[in-house]
Structure 1
Amino acid sequence: MRTLVVCLNPTFQHTLVFSSFSLGEVNRAQQHYLDSSGKGMNAARILTQLGHKAILLTHLGGKRKDEMLELSERDGVAVRWADSHSDIRTCTTILCQGTATELVEEPYPVDPSTEAGIRVLFTQALDEADALIITGTRAPGYAPSLYADFVREAKQRGRFVLLDLKGDDLKACLPFRPDVIKPNLSEAVHTFLGQTVGEQEKTDHLMASIRSTMEEIHRTYGTITVLSRGKQEMWVQGESFFTVPVEEVEAVNTIGCGDSLGAALTASLYTGTNLQHAAIYATNVATLNAKSIHPGSIV
């Protein structure tokens, strides 16, 4: 299978490993790594490592775009891109004594001309794809309707669609009946219930309220909802509701686990695996990602 992965928020991911870390002091990293990243690149890399073909559609710009393309080529991911005429951000992961701290740069706005190029590239790339993943927040400068337009076109052309979105982008896409939505629980609760929940908080008490929303989404749109909850069991709503336990492991780097989950779900469901087996498989792939020092990687 070949999957088109759309992510309009690319980033370099700098991973630094420390034996100890003190604010206000000089801290020397024992190891450091640079990867092409962003939620879309993570998902595309995982698909490639699972033996599938992936095309990443994104924007690039600034002095480091060739570096990003070289890193992507190293990982076997084909990139289709429009020029954003803006720099690519860098996010930093600090790993220290079993904890991961993420330092996130906000994206630069894209040039007003970028969207037209992205729309043309999307239609062209969709010709080559069996499935579509749209993931991540749009950088400033794109029309609010962009992702919904992509989902509408993909479903009109019979493609499998998985969305790893939140907020208005996610809600605007639902009327076009994506096959799967995969926000994490905190994103889903904020999107559909207007509540704020930390990603590491205990959330069992939210099951009843969010489960009714998941049921309504499936009843109205025929869309499967998969809610990841970090180390806690995953909640899944298709024809019926079920949970999937998450294996307890000594995590090295959890960046990209959700992206790995979405990639594996897409590959498994598209090839005909039933939902429960696909959810278990995807959870196992996400667990492998947590054992890797690199974001969005299982090797």
Structure 2
Amino acid sequence: MKILCICLSSTLQRTITFDSLKLERVNRSKYYRLDASGKAVNSARVLEQLEPGCSTVVCPLGEKNLSAFTGAAERDKLNILYATIPGQTRECWTLLDRTAGTTTELVVGEPLLEGADELKAVAAAEIKILKIINDMLPQVDAVLLAGSRPKIWSDDLYATISGMTRDAGKIFLADYIGQDMTKTLAASVPDIIKINEEEFRATFPELADQPLQKAITEKSRQLDNIIIVTRGTESTYAADRGQFSECPSEKVTALNTTACGDSFNAGFIYEYLKNRDQSGTAAEKLAAALQKGTWCAARNAELEAPGAIR
């Protein structure tokens, strides 16, 4: 099994642990950890824990802190194929309050790249990323594209990647919303769309007045695909070409909820691919994949590292 994970908003994730965190005070942490991150990178880390060697990550990396990202990725045995861009890979901070049991994530805005030389370098990086994807597609079973698209990339880049994946006959899981999803659907429908309830309502406003279960079922029938809608600590709703399914969440004592959705993606696509050619009904296979995704999300919540199940 081989899965290509595409992350166009790579992140250096600094997870900082406090005994207690108080606003408007000086807070001293116990320690911190630094991880190669971004939604699809987190998914790849989970996939590698499920089956070493099954994933490859394609991503852009800033020149100025390149070694910090690649060093963290190497520590986790992630196979990274990257194109460099000017400046730095963005950083995010996750603040863990052990006493309150809360997770606070601070996401830094994307660096601004406006000079002619910088924009030329970004255009070259985009071409390189597309070439890497094109070269990798014959070698993989599925593509997972997740996360927001930084404004430095072409407006139709996600739709282009979706079309390339469709033309190659590979399974495509899309975890993004807004204009990128609208453009993607106009070009080619992803095999699997996974978003949360708020994102689903925003992406398909024509269904806003319908009960969520009915809306998901109707949209998956219309698109002839699988739609998964996660709902936080509530059960996950899904529909496979108009056949509705529900998977209960697993109640855990959460330590770090960052990347639970990314961990779900990894577990789902892994189990979905594993069972694709096995005996059983489509409903049974969907249920098994939802259960695996839920299990991975729960294990991730119990650990400090983003995108980890052990």
> Aligned residues: percent identity?
31
| Correspondence for 1:189 | 201
One-letter code of the match for 1:191?
T
Given that 2:64 and 2:86 are in contact with CA atoms closer than 8 Å, whether structure 1 keeps it comes out as no
Answer with 4-13 or 46-55: which moved more: 46-55
For 1:211 and 1:152, how far apart are their aligned partners in 2?
29
Taking structure 2 as the reference length, the TM-score comes to 0.88
| Correspondence for 1:151 | 162
For 1:225 and 1:109, how far apart are their aligned partners in 2?
34
| Correspondence for 2:255 | 252
Taking structure 1 as the reference length, the TM-score comes to 0.92
| Correspondence for 1:198 | none
Misfit runs of 4+, over 3 Å = 206-213
| Correspondence for 1:199 | none
Q: Aligned pair count?
A: 289
For 2:23 and 2:60, how far apart are their aligned partners in 1?
35
Secondary structure at the residue paired with 2:48? helix
One-letter code of the match for 1:47?
L
| Correspondence for 2:145 | 134
For 2:101 and 2:135, how far apart are their aligned partners in 1?
43
Given that 1:109 and 1:140 are in contact with CA atoms closer than 8 Å, whether structure 2 keeps it comes out as no
Unaligned runs of 5+ in 2: 114-121, 277-284
Compared CA separation, residues 207 and 268, structure 1 to 2 (3 A) = farther
Given that 1:89 and 1:105 are in contact with CA atoms closer than 8 Å, whether structure 2 keeps it comes out as yes
For 1:192 and 1:86, how far apart are their aligned partners in 2?
36
Pairwise CA distance, 1:169: 1.1
For 1:28 and 1:180, how far apart are their aligned partners in 2?
43
For 1:51 and 1:240, how far apart are their aligned partners in 2?
30
Pairwise CA distance, 1:192: 1.4
| Correspondence for 2:118 | none
Per-residue CA deviations over 1:12-68 (Å, capped at 9, x if unaligned) read: 111111121222221111121111111011011111110151111110113211121
| Correspondence for 2:286 | 275
| Correspondence for 2:236 | 234
Compared CA separation, residues 194 and 137, structure 1 to 2 (3 A) = farther
Given that 1:4 and 1:54 are in contact with CA atoms closer than 8 Å, whether structure 2 keeps it comes out as yes
| Correspondence for 1:105 | 108
For 2:140 and 2:21, how far apart are their aligned partners in 1?
45
For 1:114 and 1:127, how far apart are their aligned partners in 2?
21
Q: CA RMSD in A?
A: 1.8
Given that 2:64 and 2:87 are in contact with CA atoms closer than 8 Å, whether structure 1 keeps it comes out as no
